[in-house]
A and B are shown apart, each in its own frame.
Chain A
Amino acid sequence: MSLKEKLVSSFLAFENHVDLDSKIHDIRSEAIKTFEAEGFPSKKDEAWKYTSLNSVLKHDYSLFPKQENALNYSDVKKYFLDDIDTFKIVFVDGKYASNLSETTHDGIDVCLMSSALNKPKYQLIVNNYFNKVAEKNGITSLNTAFSKEGAYIHIPKNKVVSKPIQIVHFSTGKEAALMLQPRNLIVVDENSHVQIIERHQSLTDNAVLTNSVTEIVANKRAIVDYYKLQNDKANASLIDSTYVQQKRESHVSVHTFSFGGKLTRNNLNFYQNGEHMDSTLNGITIIGDKQHVDHNTLVHHIEPNCESHQDYKGIFNDSSTGVFNGKVLVNKEAQKTNAFQSNNNILLNDKATINSKPQLEIFADDVKCSHGCTIGQLDESALFYMKSRGIPEKEAKGLLMYAFSNNVLKSVKIPELKQRVTKLIANKLGVNIGFDL
């Protein structure tokens, strides 16, 4: 039985566990039909031309692990940003881990999707926003059909959330192969501000496939800073689809740091519904071996006077492959749009590959849109210059690669996170540099 067949046939059993009368039931039933019709994407789909899921779909994934697998904080501490106080929503093999979490209902809701979907007091928000921004394509519909658990964050208006929120999904490897489908909903109301860090972490070399969907709604003048830290084990794959709906004067930034995992696909879609807003999409990818990272972005400028900034840097070693497919769509009404996109890549090995495809579709006539893409090797003359000052080749290369990715780090607003990412980069590049950029 293929994974698709297995998923479709297990849907009924899944639905028996949940409330058949709820509105969500209809949404789920609709979604499984879409998935059944469309299935998993293949290389025949234009948006998946350079990323094949074949190698990750062949495992016999366990879909609903029965066991409760508890973890001790001390064993997984290193995967948290633990030098500052944060809210935490933590899952182990798809189930909520209360001992690792710190949720709140004090003025804001930082809690679980399972509660939000079932309890009446969240019904209004769920009805208004759940599955509204998400696309109805096959892979997202699959997540919708099985949506049950994940993070639910609602920040009512005029709140600056005092500390960042960490959403962490662990997989313990108790199952030989595990498929997870977390579903997050984040609604930030007028004038509110929140910072979120998301991480998926496998603890063994067993196969894991995560099909994650996050919907973010930034209402009027909201500020949302979202950081995705992807540094997973060699057999862990992630298909992440994040949909961002922005209202007027809001500012949303998503940083994606892709340093690990077998196959990572980041679908990141921004929809600008209103004027005078700003969207930032930044990413650093540093991979090697046979790793594969695909960034597929969309910024849809719908109304006038808005900006978007995309800056993706990639460093590819060994036989790794990268994909950048960035689409900017400017509606006829969206005059005075400023849209910038840049994708710079360094290939450290002849066998490494990057497929970079910027797409601009502009229907307005008074806009500033630019895109640039570079693919190159490290600058030999810069290397000689550094070596001639006594900096050994390895450190010189490291320094150059640091410098290369520095611009993206600059916009990280949590200093401790910036430091953590800097360290991860140093480890990834195998260098020890005596200062933080």
Chain B
Amino acid sequence: MLQIKNLHASVEDKSILKGINLEVKAGEVHAIMGPNGSGKSTLASVIAGKEEYEVTDGTILLEGEDIDELAAEERAHKGVFLSFQYPVEIPGVSVTNFIKTAINETRKSKGLEEMPAKEMLQLIREKAELLEIDRKFLSRSLNEGFSGGEKKRNEIFQMAMLEPKLAILDETDSGLDIDALRIVANGVNKLKSKDNAVIVITHYQRLLDHIVPDFVHVLYNGRIVKSGGKELAHELEEKGYDWIKEEVNA
């Protein structure tokens, strides 16, 4: 699904990613953990195609195809989805109109007709139910005045609508109370299949109790310094990151 080889990236000449290697296969869930400032969100943004980040070395392959040169929307059309840590407020555009536009633009890129209105409504209703989203919520301006939990639920709702091949959840657990966390995790789990993959970026173990990873990677100072199974997340929860830093620096 995703192969990242020796990825180096910088923003405004400041080097942030310093040689990432990562392989994610279809059907897998990978967790990326690490202390603040280690480069987790940068990695997510670089995979999604944020232009401020310059890839200085290495490659990103999606299903064997080099996506380095593709614009963010083209990556989205190929099935990359990034759930934002801080979803952007867009006053004046409703949740429904936004997702309709996103879906129809994606279909257009594949040479498909727009989705018939009835089918779209049906799909919206189905996915809103999955995320326990009220119908009134869908006519509100996108993310405007949403609580932290509503914003994250809305992100996963959009993911459910777009059915990406590769979903990257950037700190989706931050700002969520326990109920919202359960709803979001439940949504992600229902969308998981042998044909797609999920990368969960988080500080904490608690989301990983609900979305159980096959692999856990520790990102520190722009590199993956340790990889393991789900028990690594528990170890990090218990011991913090200092022992990893010491290991690396030793």
A→B interface (CB under 8 Å)? 379-382, 384-393, 395-396, 399-400, 402-404, 406-407, 433-435, 437
Contact B90 A393 (CB under 8 A): no
Interchain nearest-CB distance for A372 vs B (Å): 15
Known contacts A388-B73, A392-B73, A434-B100; 19 further A-B pairs (Cβ under 8 A): A379-B88, A382-B89, A384-B72, A386-B98, A387-B72, A388-B49, A388-B81, A389-B76, A390-B77, A390-B105, A390-B106, A390-B109, A396-B73, A399-B101, A403-B91, A407-B92, A433-B101, A434-B104, A437-B92
Q: Is B66 an interface residue (CB 8 A)?
A: no
Interchain nearest-CB distance for B102 vs A (Å): 4
Contact A402 B93 (CB under 8 A): yes
How far apart are the CA atoms of A255 and B99 in the complex, in Å? 31
Contact B101 A434 (CB under 8 A): yes
Contact B50 A395 (CB under 8 A): no
Contact B76 A387 (CB under 8 A): yes
Contact B100 A435 (CB under 8 A): yes
How far apart are the CA atoms of A400 and B97 in the complex, in Å? 12
Q: Can you list 7 A-B pairs with a CB-CB distance of less than 8 A?
A: A385-B84, A385-B90, A390-B162, A392-B71, A400-B90, A402-B92, A435-B101
Q: Is B169 an interface residue (CB 8 A)?
A: no
Known: A399-B93, A434-B100. A391 touches B88 (CB 8 A): no
Q: Which residues of chain B are within 8 angstroms of A379 by Cβ–Cβ distance?
A: 88
Interchain nearest-CB distance for B47 vs A (Å): 10
Q: Which residues of chain A are within 8 angstroms of B109 by Cβ–Cβ distance?
A: 390
Contact B105 A392 (CB under 8 A): yes
Known: A382-B88, A400-B90, A406-B92. A387 touches B101 (CB 8 A): no
Q: Which residues of chain A are within 8 angstroms of B50 by Cβ–Cβ distance?
A: 384, 388
Contact flags B43-69 to A (C-beta < 8 A → 1, else 0): 000001111100000000000000000
Contact B92 A388 (CB under 8 A): no
Q: Which residues of chain B are within 8 angstroms of A386 by Cβ–Cβ distance?
A: 90, 98, 102
* A-B pairs, 10 with minimum CB distance: A403-B92, A390-B76, A406-B92, A387-B72, A385-B88, A389-B102, A390-B106, A387-B73, A382-B88, A392-B73
CB-based A-B contact count at 8 angstroms = 87
Known: A399-B93, A435-B97. A381 touches B88 (CB 8 A): yes
Q: Which residues of chain B are within 8 angstroms of A437 by Cβ–Cβ distance?
A: 92-93, 97
Q: Which residues of chain B are within 8 angstroms of A382 by Cβ–Cβ distance?
A: 88-90
Q: Is B114 an interface residue (CB 8 A)?
A: yes
Contact A403 B90 (CB under 8 A): yes
How far apart are the CA atoms of A406 and B97 in the complex, in Å? 14
Interface SS majority for chain A: helix
Q: Which residues of chain B are within 8 angstroms of A393 by Cβ–Cβ distance?
A: 71, 73
Interchain nearest-CB distance for A310 vs B (Å): 19
Interface-central residue, B75, B90, B158, by most chain A CB under 10 Å: B90
Those of B132-159 within 8 Å (CB) of chain A: 141, 158
Interface-central residue, B73, B82, B100, by most chain A CB under 10 Å: B73
Q: Is B27 an interface residue (CB 8 A)?
A: no
Those of B211-242 within 8 Å (CB) of chain A: none
Closest residue on chain A to residue B143 by CB atoms: A385
Q: Which residues of chain A are within 8 angstroms of B71 by Cβ–Cβ distance?
A: 387, 392-393
Q: Which residues of chain B are within 8 angstroms of A380 by Cβ–Cβ distance?
A: 52
Q: Which residues of chain A are within 8 angstroms of B76 by Cβ–Cβ distance?
A: 387-390
Closest residue on chain B to residue A406 by CB atoms: B92
Interface-central residue, A381, A392, A395, by most chain B CB under 10 Å: A392
Known: A395-B101, A434-B114, A435-B97. A388 touches B90 (CB 8 A): no
How far apart are the CA atoms of A385 and B71 in the complex, in Å? 12
How far apart are the CA atoms of A386 and B97 in the complex, in Å? 12
Q: Is B35 an interface residue (CB 8 A)?
A: no
Q: Is B87 an interface residue (CB 8 A)?
A: yes
Q: Which residues of chain A are within 8 angstroms of B92 by Cβ–Cβ distance?
A: 402-404, 406-407, 437
Closest residue on chain B to residue A401 by CB atoms: B92
Q: Which residues of chain B are within 8 angstroms of A391 by Cβ–Cβ distance?
A: 73, 101-102, 105
Interface-central residue, A384, A389, A396, by most chain B CB under 10 Å: A389
How far apart are the CA atoms of A395 and B103 in the complex, in Å? 13
Q: Which residues of chain B are within 8 angstroms of A399 by Cβ–Cβ distance?
A: 90, 93, 98, 101
Those of B104-130 within 8 Å (CB) of chain A: 104-106, 109, 114
Interchain nearest-CB distance for B46 vs A (Å): 12
Interchain nearest-CB distance for A80 vs B (Å): 29
How far apart are the CA atoms of A433 and B158 in the complex, in Å? 19
How far apart are the CA atoms of A388 and B93 in the complex, in Å? 16
Closest residue on chain B to residue A433 by CB atoms: B101
How far apart are the CA atoms of A406 and B87 in the complex, in Å? 21
Q: Which residues of chain B are within 8 angstroms of A402 by Cβ–Cβ distance?
A: 92-93
How far apart are the CA atoms of A406 and B114 in the complex, in Å? 24
Interchain nearest-CB distance for B20 vs A (Å): 20
Contact of A389 among B89, B141, B162 (CB under 8 A): B162
Contact A395 B51 (CB under 8 A): no
Q: Which residues of chain B are within 8 angstroms of A388 by Cβ–Cβ distance?
A: 48-50, 72-73, 75-76, 80-82, 84
Interchain nearest-CB distance for B86 vs A (Å): 8
Known: A385-B88, A388-B82. A403 touches B93 (CB 8 A): yes
How far apart are the CA atoms of A406 and B49 in the complex, in Å? 29
Contact B101 A385 (CB under 8 A): no
How far apart are the CA atoms of A381 and B90 in the complex, in Å? 10
Interchain nearest-CB distance for A76 vs B (Å): 33
Q: Which residues of chain A are within 8 angstroms of B102 by Cβ–Cβ distance?
A: 386, 389-391
Contact A389 B93 (CB under 8 A): no
Contact B84 A395 (CB under 8 A): no
Q: Which residues of chain A are within 8 angstroms of B90 by Cβ–Cβ distance?
A: 382, 385-386, 399-400, 403
Contact B93 A390 (CB under 8 A): no
Interchain nearest-CB distance for B163 vs A (Å): 12
